[in-house]
Amino acid sequence: MTDLHPKIAEVLARVKLRSKNSRAAYLTAIDEMNKDKDQNRAVVSCSNIAHAGAAAGADQEDFLASNKPNIGIVTSFNDMLSAHRPFETFPAIIKAAARTVKATAQVAGGVPAMCDGVTQGRPGMELSLLSRDVIAMSTAVSLSHGVYDAALCLGVCDKIVPGLVIGALSFGHLPCVFVPAGPMSSGLPNDEKASVRKAFANGEVGRDTLLKAESSAYHGEGTCTFYGTANSNQMLMEIMGLHLPGAAFLHPNSDIRHAVTVASTEQAVFINRKSNDYRPIGKTLDERSFVNAIIGLHATGGSTNHTLHLPAMAAAAGIKLTWEDFSDLSNIIPLLTRIYPNGSADVNQFHAAGGLSFVIKELLDNGLLDGSAASVWGKTIKDYASEPIFKDGKLEWRAAPQNSSDLSILRPINKPHQPTGGLKMLSGNLGKAVMKISAVAEENREITAPAQVFSNEADVKLAYKNGELNKNVVVVVLAQGPQANGMPELHALTPILVNLQDKGFKVALVTDGRMSGASGKIPAAIHVFPEAVNGGNIGRIQNGDIITIDATSGKLEVKEEISSRASFSISSKANPNSFGRSLFAQMRGQSANAEAGGGISINLGQYK
């Protein structure tokens, strides 16, 4: 294997250095939890164990005897969210599989799973980002019973997987395998869906046409097939070694999906706390894992939301990531994939072209991935350059394909789609920001234009409807940060801004809020911090100020001297007592900045 690229080694070294104390404190906690007698079912009081085993059914005798490993299942099943609908049947599959390897399994608990596709542009979106931390706490509650020797986490979508990781890391002495459900079959092509959305925004088609297109694109069980946050999650779980290799993009109802779910259960048993191959998640995931995650994000043009989620996930393991790490790695990691919104293909086509196993192989072969990182399967991440197949009725893994079967979707390192990664970090007198460039045409990656300022998404749509944005413009939407209103996604603005771009105008977006992982063609400086309500300069921008966004140089600046202007002080028009806002008020008020994850701050100190 080729030596690790020196820039990756440099980034890894500085992450380890800045994380030294917090990581040490975390590892101490893991060791203490593993040694704690409370985690041994055989010595816990009979009353406690009786309660835990009361509903164990056929497994009750084995559970109470405490002589077999017990696997805790944390599920995010609901039948509103298409990606999570398949999980309804997984517990029964897992329990049966556990018995075949002399173990038991229980559903330890469930976590909420909201769909950003349902809440886009609606009040529920204000709860979206902070739901990650609710999921983390729910995961911790699920595992708090202390009767498990390993865990299986069932999750796919946007905040659910990061929340499950954060929660599992709070019980980092437990081995944990993540189990996905897979994408739905391909429906209406994403480009056609996007065209209908633009036509609707222009008033060219009615709601009936739009609804027909949307329901043809999102039509069955499984993950949406574009490469947004949900499918970026699946890439991350694989490249970080928490999935079994090749698990990410198998269809939910396929025989091979069933077989990989069974194998995931067996692997959780094989690495459980009582085994000779004990692999606690808190030690499986280390600095190498998170650097590899950033690399995978760049190489595949993944979701900008992970510039929030990865620092939050890392903090739960005592590891400190900064956007500088993302930026430096972006400069050396080539973009290998074109998946919608960065291209026209969907994830099923990507998987068929060679998929993640090919991406991992290419990165490893060229010194662009740390192959020594630990994993739940095989020996290290080096073993993840492989894909599952059925052979003679049995599940096996074979080496990743040597070549891509479709170069328009998936390319090797020596012929990338672009020489640098899909994300760019911006900075300047407006603060720091993130920009997804993998879907932005090169001629649109730099814009200097007057600002038009809004404090909510609805007013932008109204201005568009009234023809007020038919010009070169930088649309600024402020007071959308974590502390302002929970940092909602503003994806509903994408069709109208693309329409303006298609008319020949130079258009960009600047916001302290988020965009969907599915957002693309518009140059958008998002996650700006300091946010407006915390005195950030974005809150001082006025209509007509000249703003420059330059993804090539990484610049985000306003021409005017604005630091002496009054800071943003306009309160939200939304009723703080409606739609769950009051329940999340304290969490919003204590939210970290975007670079630190935009949610609850996890600061691990030395324990005395």
Which helix (DSSP H) or strand (DSSP E) does residue 139 occupy? helix 128-143
**CATH class label, 424-595:** alpha beta
Asked if 19 contacts 287 with a C-beta cutoff of 8 angstroms, the reply is yes
Rounded CA gap, 208 and 210, in Å?
5
Rounded CA gap, 140 and 321, in Å?
23
**How high is the pLDDT of residue 262?**
98
Asked if 153 contacts 187 with a C-beta cutoff of 8 angstroms, the reply is no
| pLDDT per position as a tens digit, 447-458 | 999 999 999 999
Asked if 513 contacts 481 with a C-beta cutoff of 8 angstroms, the reply is yes
Strand partners for 152: 73, 177
**How high is the pLDDT of residue 1?**
60
Q: To 10 degrees, what angle do helices 6-18 and 287-300 make?
A: 130
**Which 3 state secondary structure label does DSSP give 183?**
strand
Q: Which amino acid is at 92?
A: A
Q: How high is the mean pLDDT of the chain?
A: 93
**For the chain, which ranges sit under pLDDT 50?**
608
Asked if 251 contacts 258 with a C-beta cutoff of 8 angstroms, the reply is no
Strand partners for 71: 105, 150
Query: In the chain, where are the structural domains located?
Result: 6-35+68-185+220-399, 186-219, 424-595
Q: What tokens does 294 get?
A: 């950033």
Q: What tokens does 592 get?
A: 């970290």
**Which 3 state secondary structure label does DSSP give 286?**
coil
Strand partners for 503: none
Which helix (DSSP H) or strand (DSSP E) does residue 556 occupy? strand 555-558
| pLDDT per position as a tens digit, 82-140 | 899 999 999 999 999 999 999 999 999 999 999 888 888 889 989 999 999 999 999 99
Q: Which amino acid is at 374?
A: A
